[in-house]
Structure 1
Amino acid sequence: MIGVRKIAHAAYETPDLEQQTEYYTNILGLTLTAKDKDAVYLANTVDHHAVVLRRGAAAQCTRVGFELGPNDDLDAFEKQTAAHGVKTSRKKDPEPTIADMVAFQDPKGTVMEVFKRPEPQALKFARNGVVPHKLGHVAFHVTEVKKVTAFYCDVLGFRVSDWMSDFFSFLRCGVDHHTINLMETGSNRHFHTAFELRDWGHLETACDFLSLNGYRMLWGPGRHGIGHNLFAYHRSPNGMITELFAELDQMKDEELGYFDPRPWHRDNPQKPKVWPKDPSASNLWGPMPPEEMMK
């Protein structure tokens, strides 16, 4: 099977394009790499863009981009996808640095954009703002979690890292514990977008910087049980939730089948499993998420 290797970008519509662009550049510390009448492109370093913003009536995540491996065949991937009964479209030069793309919708209506790896960009990290290392994952509320989870595994080649009970799945396409999260709540919509920081010190500095600029934490800092990452959540100006995280579990060898050992793991080795709906699955340090997180 040809599976995706990496999350490349997430695309959003937002009513206030200028304010959201200012948030991603001056607060989060991404780099503005391109802008036209329809879109704003923002990057970390290697990829031309990790975030795409377009003006729209409501704040929502509309598309997620994934890369294939350098030796994978995009034509073969499209045929493989169509064999699942998925309607695909082919796009030539759809975005800067992307020459050829296969696009299709997942069961909840989000457009998947799959393409071969573009040439790496020679960008430097920004000097102002939080400055994350990379786009880490995107999480969604869904109406049918098992159906959507199966789609990501069967069509895109994801693997299940963990479940919380039978309503919340964590899926990986590379070494990181999760690149896509799916939580069954009765609606199909964006939950949060997560960016990776270096370590606890970076997270502490980021929380202070956000506070000084008028952004309060919705939840955290804390340490998740599932994935074991440090976390802190806040809302961007358009109301969408951003997570900043560090120390996420990684499975560096799929054949071994366990995540790289860490002193804070409760299981040794730490293997994929079904976690009970228990406070320790959400936050090993204590407080559970507030109701506001679900709005």
Structure 2
Amino acid sequence: MMYRPKPRKLGHLVLKVRDIQQSLAFYTEVVGLEVSDWIGSHMVFLRCGEDHHDLALLQLPPGHVAAPEGQYPMVEHFSYHVETLDEIREITEMLVARGIPIDRGIGRHGPGGNTFIVFKDPDGNNVEFYSDMIQVTDETPHTPAVWDGGEMETFDRWNLQEFVVEPPARIKAILDMDTKEGGA
């Protein structure tokens, strides 16, 4: 029998939004969430409990602000928590063995500090397994920071060393910027 993951809970959701400031106001003032971190001014991480984030908002690129409803996918990914990095590795082996398309990972994000593997479901939705997210409690408070979206450490603190697939084009663009800056 092939390995089967044992997720502990639904972890977080990343929504694509047309106006990040308007959505931020809604989720903080109406829903009551707290800001954990930002990536530049285009992505904000929010929480309602101890996990660093359970909702993230990602600004749609220019030109999609007035897109007709339903014409642009609004969910970037949703995630399930597993206990350890070893479990992430075991899940990755299972995904490869089953021929399931992997979008990105294995890696460790800057904001939240969590490890991740992201893969496609049969309809092309991004699903993530993650472990080791920063916990925000009275004993371990967190001060929100703004991460640079053009820095590899924001996306993957391990600099793609554990990636099992070629990075997506948007990540290659970051790598190209780092190479040009380093070679100048």
TM bracket (short chain)? 0.7 to 0.9
| Alpha-carbon separation, structure 1, partners of 2:155 and 2:168 | 12
Structure 1 position 203 matched with structure 2 position 88: yes
Paired residue secondary structure (1:148): helix
CA RMSD of aligned residues (A): 2.1
Report the TM-score when normalising by structure 2. 0.77
Paired residue secondary structure (2:102): coil
Letter in 2 for 1:204: R
Identical amino acids, percent of aligned pairs = 31
- Following superposition, the deviation at residue 129 of structure 1 comes to 2.1
Name the structure 1 match of 2:9. 134
List runs of 5+ in structure 2 lacking aligned partners. Answer: 65-71, 161-165, 172-184
Name the structure 2 match of 1:285. 158
Match of 2:127 among 234, 237, 242: 242
List runs of 5+ in structure 1 lacking aligned partners. Answer: 1-26, 28-127, 259-270
CA contact (8 A) 1:218 1:292 kept: no
- Following superposition, the deviation at residue 289 of structure 1 comes to 5.0
Structure 1 position 257 matched with structure 2 position 141: yes
**What per-residue deviation string (whole Å, max 9, x for no partner) do you get for residues 18-45 of structure 1?**
xxxxxxxxx9xxxxxxxxxxxxxxxxxx
**What per-residue deviation string (whole Å, max 9, x for no partner) do you get for residues 215-274 of structure 1?**
1321110100111100110000011000110000110118x632xxxxxxxxxxxx3111
Report the TM-score when normalising by structure 1. 0.49
CA contact (8 A) 1:195 1:244 kept: yes
| Alpha-carbon separation, structure 1, partners of 2:134 and 2:122 | 30
Aligned 1:73-92 pairs, distance under 5 A? none
Structure 1 position 148 matched with structure 2 position 33: no
Aligned 1:61-210 pairs, distance under 5 A? 129-186=4-61, 187=64, 189-210=74-95
Letter in 1 for 2:146: V
- Following superposition, the deviation at residue 202 of structure 1 comes to 0.7
Name the structure 2 match of 1:267. none
Match of 1:231 among 108, 116, 119: 116
**What per-residue deviation string (whole Å, max 9, x for no partner) do you get for residues 99-148 of structure 1?**
xxxxxxxxxxxxxxxxxxxxxxxxxxxxx621211100111111111110
Q: Which moved more, 1:184-193 or 1:226-235?
A: 184-193
From the CA coordinates, give the structure whose radius of gyration is larger: 1
> How many residue pairs get matched?
154
